[in-house]
Amino acid sequence: MTDREFGNRRTEDAVSQPSTVDPRPRVEQGPDGRYRVEGIRCPSCGEVATFAWPRCPACRSAVGPASFGPDGTVWSSTVVRIPVAGRTPPYVLAYVDLDDGPRVLAHVTGPGAPIGGRVRLAPPSADGDVTVEVLA
């Protein structure tokens, strides 16, 4: 390809790039070795979320940073048995209500996650999925 000029813009500049932003919740390992999800807490209404948004999704107030976990309770779960882009079925998904925070979607290590069962945040998958392990 030649470096043809259009005004002051070169053709290469117009080539699209894949986004480098991962929208999934960010999981960090604390000094105690436990994993927690980074997010926000609303000082006005108490709403929590596992995302670094500038405003409270419930009441629009300014929010502060918070982290949640590592333990929680399974609100519900399912086993996905159909092909989904970039995934190999079957895989287990659960909505987990973290003890001090919001409901987070997580992949589950192991064959299933009984509703009401206790789980703990585990290291995220290599690809970046929030992951929990079932506590005995």
The amino acid present at 117, given as its one-letter code, is G
Total residues at interface with another protein (CB under 8 A): 36
Contact status, residue 77 vs residue 103, Cβ threshold 8 Å: no
What's the closest the beta carbon of residue 4 comes to another protein, in angstroms? 26
On the 0-12 / 13-18 / 19+ scale of CB atoms within 10 A, 91 is: middle
**Which of 31, 33, 54, 86 lies at the binding interface for another protein (CB under 8 A)?**
86
Q: How many other C-beta atoms can be found within 10 angstroms of the C-beta atom of residue 18?
A: 5
Binders in 27-46 for another protein, by CB under 8 A: none
Give me the numbers of helices (H) and strands (E) for the chain, helices first please. 0, 11
Q: Which stretch binds another protein (CB under 8 A): 8-16, 27-35, 97-105?
A: 97-105
Name the residues that contact another protein, by CB under 8 A: 19, 22-25, 47-49, 51, 57-58, 75-87, 91, 93, 95, 97, 102-103, 105, 107, 115-116, 129-130
